[in-house]
């Protein structure tokens, strides 16, 4: 059975007409039963790739291809790393199936990488260029959370604009142990460099201000 319904496929066909450069998706799965959504994620990515030639998917097994897994810092599945047409790692990861509300985060991120334009304010880009310390942004989400995609999209834009920023979307219900470690009881929950903890939606300026502070 197809993962994407007809309506979504039609919409994506239209959306993907404007894709500019190639986007490379590095997908990690595992064969164990433990990974509930690996198969669905893989099928979904294949269906998306079938819609546009500009989207390339490479599939790896986290247990069998450990070199690649460590290269892309993948320690759990399903995981997707996003690379641009020159195979530059954009620092963007999706852990867990980007379905439900997160489907739009995922598609918007693909379109951003393909277009080469984050759409952030000129001022934000300037600030991001100056960030010289590694910043790790984790965004815990659920697939039923309408407030979550704007945060994930922003974090991904920041990662795209800055070599020093990495962004991870984490589906809390798929990684309950990790969610418990970070005491996630509401989403979106944002963790920056393991120390700065934010809850709820954030505006571009507000989110960036906090990143700037952590980077100092």
Residue placing its CB nearer to another protein in the complex, 75 or 206: 206
Residue placing its CB nearer to another protein in the complex, 142 or 166: 142
Could you tell me the two tokens for 21?
């450069």
Q: How far is the CB of 196 from another protein (least distance, A)?
A: 16
Stretch that binds another protein, among 68-76, 81-89, 160-168, 170-178 (CB under 8 A): 170-178
Residue placing its CB nearer to another protein in the complex, 143 or 169: 143
Alpha-helix runs per DSSP H in the chain: 6-16, 38-51, 66-71, 102-115, 122-129, 148-161, 176-181, 204-214
Which of 147, 163, 178, 182 is in the footprint of another protein by CB under 8 A? 147
Q: Could you tell me which of 9, 84, 92, 93 has the C-alpha nearest to residue 52?
A: 9
Residue 23's Cβ-side half-sphere holds a number of Cα atoms within 13 Å equal to 29
Q: How far is the CB of 22 from another protein (least distance, A)?
A: 25
Q: Could you tell me which of 88, 186, 194 has the C-alpha nearest to residue 145?
A: 186
208 lies in the site for another protein, by CB under 8 A: no
Could you tell me the two tokens for 27?
């997908």
Q: How far is the CB of 179 from another protein (least distance, A)?
A: 7
**Residues numbered 108-127 forming contacts with another protein, rule: CB under 8 A:** 121, 123
How many C-beta atoms lie closer than 10 Å to residue 130's C-beta? 10
> From CA 35, how far away is CA 64, in angstroms rounded?
15
**What is the contact surface with another protein in residues (CB under 8 A)?**
7, 11, 101, 104, 121, 123, 142-150, 172-173, 176, 179, 183-187, 199-201, 203, 205-206
């Amino acid at each position: 059975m197809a993962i994407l319904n007809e309506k979504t496929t039609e919409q994506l066909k239209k959306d993907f007409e404007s894709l500019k450069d190639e986007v490379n998706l590095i997908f990690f799965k595992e064969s164990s039963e433990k990974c509930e959504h690996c198969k669905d994620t893989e099928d979904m990515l294949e269906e998306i790739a079938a819609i546009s030639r500009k989207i390339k998917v490479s599939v790896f097994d986290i247990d069998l291809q450990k070199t690649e897994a460590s290269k892309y810092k993948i320690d759990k599945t399903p995981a997707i790393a996003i690379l641009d047409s020159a195979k530059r790692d954009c620092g963007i990861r999706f852990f867990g199936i980007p379905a439900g509300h997160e489907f739009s985060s995922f598609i918007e991120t693909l379109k951003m990488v393909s277009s080469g334009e984050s759409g952030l304010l000129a001022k934000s880009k300037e600030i991001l260029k100056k960030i010289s310390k590694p910043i790790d942004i984790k965004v815990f989400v659920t697939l039923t959370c309408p407030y979550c995609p704007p945060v994930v999209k922003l974090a991904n834009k920041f990662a795209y604009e800055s070599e020093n920023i990495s962004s991870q979307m984490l589906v809390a219900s798929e990684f309950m142990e990790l969610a418990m470690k970070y005491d996630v009881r509401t989403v979106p929950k944002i963790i920056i460099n393991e120390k700065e903890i934010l809850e709820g939606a954030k505006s571009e300026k507000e989110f960036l201000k906090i990143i700037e502070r952590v980077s100092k």
